[in-house]
Amino acid sequence: MLEPSIVKDDEVEILIKDVYDLYGYDFSDYSRASFKRRINRICLIDKFTSFAELRYTVLNDIDYLKRFVEEITVNVTEMFRDPYFFKELREKILPQLGTYPLIRIWLAGCSTGEEAYSIAILLKEANLYHKSLIYGTDINPSVLETARAGVFPLHQMKLYSENYMLSGGKEDFSKYYIANYDSVRFDKSLQEKLILSTHNLVSDTSFNSFQLIICRNVLIYFDKPLQERVFKLFDDSLENFGYLALGAKETLRFSGINKDYQQVDDQKIWKKIGHY
């Protein structure tokens, strides 16, 4: 089926300006192709037949704005997504981080929190959880509420369990949650070291110093100048000899900070080797 094209290029620019002027959400450096595709998807799902109808609703219904931002910024996520990435963390990166007295990890664009719970499980199994802090941030406050609740659909557990095993997990995955009808609640202990807050990669600054920053499948939605700005933010936030992990289609190779990083493996993890 062909993608709908209800919203045209010039209308995308109008909507970006509207949302920024009224609400302060700045999407001006998002990839136009991705942004337009998501807007047209919103029109299809919410049955808007014209740009004018969508624009009127966004400008006049504050409750709808929340949904609009959620749809624009949503990232598809799952627990232990790309299991071999987590296997690499488990086997090569966490033993290095274990040498620190306190481990600080930033999950940028953490969405509904599946990745955060995955990292918490890895740290527990490496006996490092007690001296770790996991910062999960996202521009979208509503997805963070899902992350705080720790409640996910039961039907996803089969996939998550398979991912967990492929990542090198040796436990029975069901030990980490309690099933209740058609949903599961993850163990509260997995939240003890988890700090969730809103953070806008586009406009906010560094807020701590980290040994590991994970930002997977977020930068593909940004254009090149914004990617550079985010890389600079990550560089400012990462300690020397810390690690930066990106998504499968993302790379530091052509970035301005590339000279100070060394790729660890083929799982898109880079080590900061410092400034010389």
Which helix or strand (DSSP H or E) is residue 270 part of? strand 269-272
Q: What is the pLDDT of residue 75?
A: 64
Q: What is the pLDDT of residue 139?
A: 87
Q: Contact at 8 Å (CB) between 261 and 270? A: yes
The domain made up of 83-272 is a member of CATH 3.40.50.150:
yes
Q: Give alpha helix (H) positions in 169-223.
A: none
* Residues 6+ away with beta carbon under 8 Å from 45: 71
Which token pair is 63? 């409750």
How far apart CA 114 and CA 76 sit, in angstroms, is 10
Q: Contact at 8 Å (CB) between 163 and 79? A: yes
First to last CA, the chain: 53
Q: What is the pLDDT of residue 72?
A: 80
Q: Contact at 8 Å (CB) between 27 and 20? A: yes
How far apart CA 176 and CA 237 sit, in angstroms, is 31
What is the residue extent of each domain of the chain? 9-72, 83-272
Q: What is the pLDDT of residue 25?
A: 77
For residue 232, the one-letter residue type is K
pLDDT tens per residue across all 276 residues of the chain: 334 578 888 999 999 899 888 877 778 877 788 888 889 888 988 999 898 999 999 999 988 887 888 778 766 689 999 999 999 999 999 999 999 999 999 999 999 999 999 999 999 999 999 999 999 999 888 889 999 999 999 999 999 999 999 999 999 999 999 999 999 999 999 999 999 999 989 888 999 999 999 999 888 878 788 899 999 999 999 999 999 999 888 889 889 999 999 999 777 999 999 765
In angstroms and rounded to an integer, the radius of gyration of the C-alpha atoms of the chain is 20
Which token pair is 10? 């010039």
What does DSSP assign to residue 90?
Answer: I
Q: For 158-206, how does the pLDDT look when each residue is reduced to its tens digit (9 = 90+)?
A: 999 999 999 999 999 999 999 999 999 999 999 999 999 999 898 889 9
pTM: 0.82
